[in-house]
Protein backbone atom coordinates (compact mmCIF):
# COMPACT_ATOMS: atom_id res chain seq x y z
CA UNK A 1 0.00 0.00 0.00
CA UNK A 2 2.97 2.34 -0.44
CA UNK A 3 1.35 4.22 -3.33
CA UNK A 4 -2.13 4.46 -1.81
CA UNK A 5 -3.87 7.20 0.14
CA UNK A 6 -6.73 5.72 2.13
CA UNK A 7 -8.48 7.68 4.85
CA UNK A 8 -11.56 6.32 6.57
CA UNK A 9 -13.10 6.29 10.02
CA UNK A 10 -12.31 3.55 12.55
CA UNK A 11 -15.46 1.53 11.88
CA UNK A 12 -15.13 1.89 8.07
CA UNK A 13 -18.61 3.43 7.75
CA UNK A 14 -17.19 6.62 6.25
CA UNK A 15 -14.41 7.03 3.71
CA UNK A 16 -12.87 10.43 3.22
CA UNK A 17 -10.08 9.88 0.67
CA UNK A 18 -9.03 7.07 -1.63
CA UNK A 19 -6.41 7.48 -4.31
CA UNK A 20 -2.80 7.30 -5.31
CA UNK A 21 0.23 9.45 -4.50
CA UNK A 22 1.81 11.54 -7.21
CA UNK A 23 3.00 14.95 -8.30
CA UNK A 24 0.00 15.84 -10.46
CA UNK A 25 -3.31 14.55 -9.11
CA UNK A 26 -6.78 14.76 -10.57
CA UNK A 27 -9.20 15.18 -7.67
CA UNK A 28 -12.56 13.62 -8.43
CA UNK A 29 -15.60 14.51 -6.35
CA UNK A 30 -18.50 12.07 -6.36
CA UNK A 31 -21.52 11.68 -4.09
CA UNK A 32 -20.61 8.95 -1.61
CA UNK A 33 -18.14 6.09 -1.32
CA UNK A 34 -19.07 2.50 -1.90
CA UNK A 35 -16.94 -0.52 -1.02
CA UNK A 36 -13.75 0.34 -2.93
CA UNK A 37 -10.42 0.13 -1.14
CA UNK A 38 -6.76 0.09 -2.21
CA UNK A 39 -6.16 -2.65 -4.78
CA UNK A 40 -9.94 -3.37 -4.80
CA UNK A 41 -11.40 -0.64 -6.96
CA UNK A 42 -15.03 -0.68 -7.97
CA UNK A 43 -16.02 0.12 -11.56
CA UNK A 44 -16.45 3.83 -10.81
CA UNK A 45 -12.93 4.14 -9.46
CA UNK A 46 -11.53 2.07 -12.31
CA UNK A 47 -13.04 4.72 -14.61
CA UNK A 48 -11.57 7.54 -12.51
CA UNK A 49 -8.14 5.91 -12.70
CA UNK A 50 -8.39 5.28 -16.46
CA UNK A 51 -9.58 8.81 -17.24
CA UNK A 52 -6.95 10.41 -14.98
CA UNK A 53 -4.14 8.56 -16.75
CA UNK A 54 -5.60 9.34 -20.18
CA UNK A 55 -5.56 13.07 -19.33
CA UNK A 56 -1.91 13.10 -18.26
CA UNK A 57 -2.25 12.91 -14.48
CA UNK A 58 0.16 10.67 -12.58
CA UNK A 59 -2.27 10.12 -9.72
CA UNK A 60 -5.89 10.52 -8.69
CA UNK A 61 -7.83 11.16 -5.51
CA UNK A 62 -11.47 10.33 -4.91
CA UNK A 63 -13.38 12.59 -2.54
CA UNK A 64 -17.10 12.64 -1.96
CA UNK A 65 -19.75 15.21 -1.18
CA UNK A 66 -20.87 12.97 1.68
CA UNK A 67 -18.48 10.35 3.15
CA UNK A 68 -20.97 7.71 4.32
CA UNK A 69 -20.30 4.36 2.68
CA UNK A 70 -23.33 2.96 0.89
CA UNK A 71 -23.53 0.76 -2.18
CA UNK A 72 -26.75 2.58 -3.08
CA UNK A 73 -27.06 6.37 -2.61
CA UNK A 74 -30.66 5.77 -1.48
CA UNK A 75 -29.10 4.13 1.57
CA UNK A 76 -27.58 7.42 2.73
CA UNK A 77 -28.71 8.95 5.99
CA UNK A 78 -32.12 10.58 5.74
CA UNK A 79 -30.69 13.54 7.64
CA UNK A 80 -27.14 14.76 7.40
CA UNK A 81 -24.75 13.61 10.12
CA UNK A 82 -22.97 16.88 10.88
CA UNK A 83 -20.01 15.18 12.59
CA UNK A 84 -19.01 13.11 9.56
CA UNK A 85 -19.69 16.07 7.24
CA UNK A 86 -17.31 18.29 9.23
CA UNK A 87 -14.71 15.51 9.30
CA UNK A 88 -15.08 15.20 5.52
CA UNK A 89 -14.43 18.94 5.11
CA UNK A 90 -11.23 18.67 7.17
CA UNK A 91 -9.91 15.92 4.88
CA UNK A 92 -10.99 17.79 1.76
CA UNK A 93 -9.30 21.00 2.84
CA UNK A 94 -6.04 19.18 3.46
CA UNK A 95 -6.22 17.60 0.00
CA UNK A 96 -6.91 20.97 -1.65
CA UNK A 97 -4.05 22.60 0.29
CA UNK A 98 -1.61 19.78 -0.54
CA UNK A 99 -2.53 19.90 -4.24
CA UNK A 100 -2.66 23.66 -4.70
CA UNK A 101 -3.47 24.48 -7.46
CA UNK A 102 -6.04 21.68 -7.35
CA UNK A 103 -7.71 20.29 -10.46
CA UNK A 104 -11.17 19.22 -9.28
CA UNK A 105 -13.29 16.97 -11.46
CA UNK A 106 -16.99 17.46 -10.67
CA UNK A 107 -18.46 13.98 -11.15
CA UNK A 108 -21.53 13.45 -8.98
CA UNK A 109 -24.21 13.12 -11.64
CA UNK A 110 -27.90 13.23 -10.82
CA UNK A 111 -27.25 11.39 -7.55
CA UNK A 112 -26.90 14.78 -5.85
CA UNK A 113 -30.69 14.99 -5.94
CA UNK A 114 -31.17 11.84 -3.81
CA UNK A 115 -30.93 13.83 -0.53
CA UNK A 116 -31.60 17.57 -0.09
CA UNK A 117 -28.59 18.06 2.18
CA UNK A 118 -26.12 16.92 -0.49
CA UNK A 119 -26.33 20.26 -2.30
CA UNK A 120 -25.58 22.05 0.95
CA UNK A 121 -22.61 19.75 1.59
CA UNK A 122 -21.33 20.65 -1.88
CA UNK A 123 -21.74 24.32 -1.07
CA UNK A 124 -19.51 23.81 1.99
CA UNK A 125 -16.92 22.06 -0.19
CA UNK A 126 -17.04 24.98 -2.61
CA UNK A 127 -16.39 27.38 0.30
CA UNK A 128 -13.29 25.35 1.20
CA UNK A 129 -12.14 25.31 -2.44
CA UNK A 130 -12.46 29.09 -2.67
CA UNK A 131 -9.55 29.40 -0.19
CA UNK A 132 -7.24 27.71 -2.70
CA UNK A 133 -6.35 28.02 -6.34
CA UNK A 134 -8.81 25.34 -7.47
CA UNK A 135 -9.90 24.75 -11.03
CA UNK A 136 -13.26 23.00 -11.37
CA UNK A 137 -13.58 20.67 -14.38
CA UNK A 138 -16.07 18.25 -15.87
CA UNK A 139 -16.08 15.60 -18.56
CA UNK A 140 -18.84 15.14 -21.11
CA UNK A 141 -22.11 16.98 -21.46
CA UNK A 142 -24.00 17.96 -18.37
CA UNK A 143 -27.30 16.24 -17.66
CA UNK A 144 -30.54 17.96 -18.67
CA UNK A 145 -30.72 19.38 -15.12
CA UNK A 146 -27.16 20.73 -15.37
CA UNK A 147 -25.39 18.11 -13.24
CA UNK A 148 -21.88 16.99 -14.19
CA UNK A 149 -21.73 13.39 -15.38
CA UNK A 150 -20.87 10.50 -13.11
CA UNK A 151 -17.58 8.88 -14.28
CA UNK A 152 -18.81 5.31 -14.64
CA UNK A 153 -19.76 5.28 -18.31
CA UNK A 154 -17.66 8.15 -19.64
CA UNK A 155 -15.47 7.61 -22.66
CA UNK A 156 -11.84 8.33 -21.73
CA UNK A 157 -11.41 10.21 -25.03
CA UNK A 158 -13.73 12.99 -23.84
CA UNK A 159 -11.89 16.12 -22.77
CA UNK A 160 -11.76 17.75 -19.37
CA UNK A 161 -13.49 21.11 -19.72
CA UNK A 162 -14.10 23.99 -17.29
CA UNK A 163 -17.07 23.57 -14.95
CA UNK A 164 -18.77 26.74 -13.75
CA UNK A 165 -19.33 25.75 -10.15
CA UNK A 166 -20.71 29.21 -9.29
CA UNK A 167 -23.52 29.02 -11.84
CA UNK A 168 -24.21 25.41 -10.92
CA UNK A 169 -24.53 26.16 -7.20
CA UNK A 170 -26.73 29.19 -7.82
CA UNK A 171 -29.12 27.19 -9.97
CA UNK A 172 -29.25 24.05 -7.82
CA UNK A 173 -29.59 25.82 -4.47
CA UNK A 174 -32.23 28.13 -5.94
CA UNK A 175 -34.22 25.05 -7.05
CA UNK A 176 -34.03 23.73 -3.50
CA UNK A 177 -34.77 27.00 -1.69
CA UNK A 178 -34.26 30.49 -3.14
CA UNK A 179 -33.21 31.76 0.30
CA UNK A 180 -30.18 29.44 0.21
CA UNK A 181 -28.52 31.18 -2.74
CA UNK A 182 -25.13 32.07 -1.35
CA UNK A 183 -24.35 35.75 -1.31
CA UNK A 184 -20.64 35.22 -1.94
CA UNK A 185 -21.10 33.35 -5.24
For residue 171, which phi and psi values (nearest 5 degrees)? -75, -40
CB 44 within 8 A of CB 38: no
pTM, two decimals, is 0.92
Mean pLDDT of the chain: 91
CB 88 within 8 A of CB 67: yes
Tell me, yes or no, whether 11 lies in a domain. Answer: yes
Tell me, yes or no, whether 136 lies in a domain. Answer: yes
Residue 148 domain boundaries = 4-178
The residue-averaged pLDDT of 115-119 equals 94
Q: What percent of the chain has a predicted confidence (pLDDT) above 90?
A: 79
Q: How many domains does the chain have?
A: 1
Q: Does the pLDDT of residue 121 top 50, yes or no?
A: yes
DSSP codes, 14-32? BEEEEEE--SSEEEEEES-
Q: How far apart are CA 85 and CA 126, in angstroms?
A: 14
Q: Does the pLDDT of residue 182 top 90, yes or no?
A: no
Tell me, yes or no, whether 185 lies in a domain. Answer: no
The residue-averaged pLDDT of 170-180 equals 61
Q: Does the pLDDT of residue 185 top 70, yes or no?
A: no
Determine the pLDDT at residue 37: 95
Amino acid sequence: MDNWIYEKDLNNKSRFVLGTKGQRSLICIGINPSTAAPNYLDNTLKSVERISIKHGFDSWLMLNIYPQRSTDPKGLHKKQDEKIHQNNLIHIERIFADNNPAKIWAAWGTLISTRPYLKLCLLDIYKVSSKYNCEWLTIGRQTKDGHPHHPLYLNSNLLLTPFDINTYLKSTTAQQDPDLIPVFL
